[in-house]
């Protein structure tokens, strides 16, 4: 049964949100589709949901009305599994349970042709383990779509230990034919996206646990300074804490309780309370009719310094000086250790140490640290912290400096690595470890994070811009502050830093 890609009958098992999104994609690409679900009511409602997706494409001019009708005619509702026998590819999108998926694939293996492909949309279960129960594990592959499947471009094509190369190639070609961007990776816990993304949530939860900032400030920092579309806490509210916590626990257990993936007691408490986020009406924020919009406590307006001295080089030094010149702030440049001096206060980028620890080096001169960003030009917010004992008057010149550059300012507690810097460095470290472990190439890891979860820049591209040596410095300083192994630098990242070798050669 060697069907041409465009003519291959597709079977979908599972009439949930993901399954129906995949159905719509396959229909739009011209395939006859059989949809099966053990729940008859779900099947009966499926047609209306799929038609709604097709209608959206028609309204946007992406699908002709006549094509919409043809799509509807190609959809067959299957009330027994045997109806999927003609399919050249069957994709399961059912409950995340290994034994249930294995039982399904065992049944399918006996029904479909010998060259038919069995694919799983699992986000966390090992493809190798899923295939191990079959007589022909070489036909099993991961085809992990991201929600909503009709919108997000990424498909992780996951290779189990036994998956045949031609199966990987055929599924990747099919994803492209459906207008998707396939990224091939090995089957390991979390694949690419759900593994590399863990620090995005974990660092925010740890910062919250340590009282560095209120939730609204923390989200604003990652969103408005870091350049991400959503802050981590509001994103967890959107995903659902039960779902997000379950994925974190799954990855943590799969990596034998590696501290890098340790779940948060704060999130467990939300799950225990039933405060699951938007779907329950309450999470980190309230979502009821009377819920108030969270307010970010911005620093009050302060006068800008009349003159700054740039001492040495540091990340974004050139951009800061250019923006200062455009704001009519006088600039002098001198050799030094990498800081700005302005009206009696020193201003440095955080490199993973606390301002209080560094203040011993600056004697009587107040020290303020600033957080990093993915794009200083576009950032609308700057995050500052200061050494214990600094007064508002002493910090004011630093606040006024960034306000003069057109940035809002928030001041947080003196947390090692602050908020954006520690998050970006940990994302880069996890991406480096995935490359080191042979999960995927640097290019594919970065592409997956941008396409699958809308990161503003790939973690490794950001590490090149920030400096791999700087990333390792931040991680080493964090490791001294938290000596539990959580912040150990990837051996590959450390080699890149030592040899001054970028991830990308431009």
Helix (H, G, I), strand (E, B) or coil at 503: coil
Measure CA 441 to chain center. 17
Distance of alpha carbon 256 from alpha carbon 250, whole angstroms = 10
156 flagged as catalytic: yes
DSSP sequence for 286-306: B-STTPPPP---PPPP-PPPS
Distance of alpha carbon 330 from alpha carbon 311, whole angstroms = 14
Distance of alpha carbon 465 from alpha carbon 447, whole angstroms = 16
Q: How many residues does the chain have?
A: 506
Read off the tokens for 113: 């042709």
Instruction: Characterize the bridge pairing of strands 10-13 and 33-36.
Output: parallel
194 flagged as catalytic: yes
Annotated catalytic residue, options 123, 264, 468, 490: 123
Measure CA 451 to chain center. 10
Distance of alpha carbon 221 from alpha carbon 371, whole angstroms = 9
Residue 276 phi, psi (nearest 5) = -90, 0
Distance of alpha carbon 371 from alpha carbon 116, whole angstroms = 52
**DSSP H helical segments within 112-189, as ranges?**
127-131, 165-177
Closest by CA to 213, choosing from 409, 457, 427, 483, is: 409
DSSP lists the bridge partners of residue 154 as: 181
Cβ partners under 8 Å of residue 462, min gap 6? 374, 424, 427, 428
Read off the tokens for 458: 């790939």
Instruction: Characterize the bridge pairing of strands 381-386 and 367-370.
Output: antiparallel
Contact call for residues 379 and 407 (beta carbons, < 8 A): yes
Query: First-to-last CA distance in the chain?
Result: 45
In terms of phi and psi (left: phi > 0; alpha: psi -120 to 50; beta: otherwise), the region of 57 is alpha
CA atoms lying within 13 Å on the CB side of residue 334: 9
Using only the alpha carbons of the chain, give its radius of gyration. 26
Distance of alpha carbon 270 from alpha carbon 210, whole angstroms = 17
Annotated catalytic residue, options 53, 124, 194, 490: 194
316 flagged as catalytic: no
Contact call for residues 112 and 84 (beta carbons, < 8 A): yes
334 flagged as catalytic: no
Annotated catalytic residue, options 31, 144, 241, 386: 144
Read off the tokens for 263: 């779940």
Catalytic residue IDs: 123, 144, 156, 194
């Amino acid at each position: 049964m060697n069907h041409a890609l465009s003519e291959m009958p597709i079977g979908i098992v599972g009439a949930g949100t993901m399954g129906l999104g995949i159905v719509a994609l396959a229909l739009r690409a011209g395939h006859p589709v059989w949809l099966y679900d053990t729940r008859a009511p779900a099947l009966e409602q499926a047609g209306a949901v799929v038609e709604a997706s097709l209608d959206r494409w028609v309204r946007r001019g992406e699908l002709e009305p006549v094509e919409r009708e043809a799509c509807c005619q190609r959809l067959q509702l299957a009330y027994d599994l045997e109806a999927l026998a003609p399919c050249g590819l069957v994709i399961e999108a059912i409950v995340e349970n290994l034994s249930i998926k294995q039982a399904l694939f065992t049944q399918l293996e006996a029904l479909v042709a010998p060259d038919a492909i069995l694919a799983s949309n699992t986000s966390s279960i090992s493809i190798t383990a899923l295939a191990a129960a079959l007589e022909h594990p070489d036909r099993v592959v991961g085809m992990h779509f991201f929600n909503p499947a009709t919108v997000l471009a990424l498909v992780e094509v996951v290779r189990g230990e036994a998956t045949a190369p031609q199966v990987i190639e055929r599924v990747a070609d099919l994803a492209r034919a459906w207008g998707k961007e396939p990224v091939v990776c090995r089957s390991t816990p979390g694949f690419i996206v759900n593994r590399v993304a863990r620090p995005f949530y974990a660092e925010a939860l740890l910062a919250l646990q340590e009282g560095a900032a209120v939730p609204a400030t923390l989200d604003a920092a990652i969103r408005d300074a870091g350049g991400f579309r959503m802050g981590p806490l509001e994103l967890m509210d959107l995903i659902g804490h039960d779902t997000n916590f379950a994925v974190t626990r799954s990855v943590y257990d799969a990596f034998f309780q590696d501290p890098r993936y340790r779940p948060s007691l704060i999130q467990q408490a939300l799950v225990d309370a039933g405060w699951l986020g938007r779907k329950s009406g309450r999470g980190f924020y309230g979502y009821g009719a009377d819920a108030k919009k969270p307010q970010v406590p911005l620093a009050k307006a302060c006068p800008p310094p009349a003159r700054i001295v740039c001492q040495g080089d540091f990340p974004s030094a050139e951009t800061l000086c250019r923006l200062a010149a455009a704001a009519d702030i006088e600039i002098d440049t001198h050799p030094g250790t990498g800081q700005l001096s302005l009206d009696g206060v020193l201003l440095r980028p955080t490199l993973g140490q606390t301002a209080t620890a560094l203040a011993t080096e600056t004697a009587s001169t107040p020290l303020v640290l600033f957080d990093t960003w993915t794009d200083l030009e576009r950032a609308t917010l700057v995050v500052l912290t200061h050494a214990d004992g600094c007064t508002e008057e002493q910090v004011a010149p630093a606040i006024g400096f960034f306000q003069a550059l057109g940035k809002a300012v928030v001041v947080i507690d003196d947390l090692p690595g602050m908020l954006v810097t520690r998050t970006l460095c940990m994302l880069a470290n996890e991406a480096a470890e995935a490359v080191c472990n042979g999960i995927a190439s640097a290019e594919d890891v970065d592409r997956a994070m941008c396409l699958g979860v809308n990161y503003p820049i790939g973690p490794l591209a950001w590490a090149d811009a920030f400096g791999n040596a700087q990333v390792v410095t931040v991680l080493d300083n964090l490791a001294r502050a938290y000596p539990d192994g959580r912040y150990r630098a990837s051996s590959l990242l450390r080699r890149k830093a030592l040899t001054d070798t970028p991830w990308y050669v431009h």
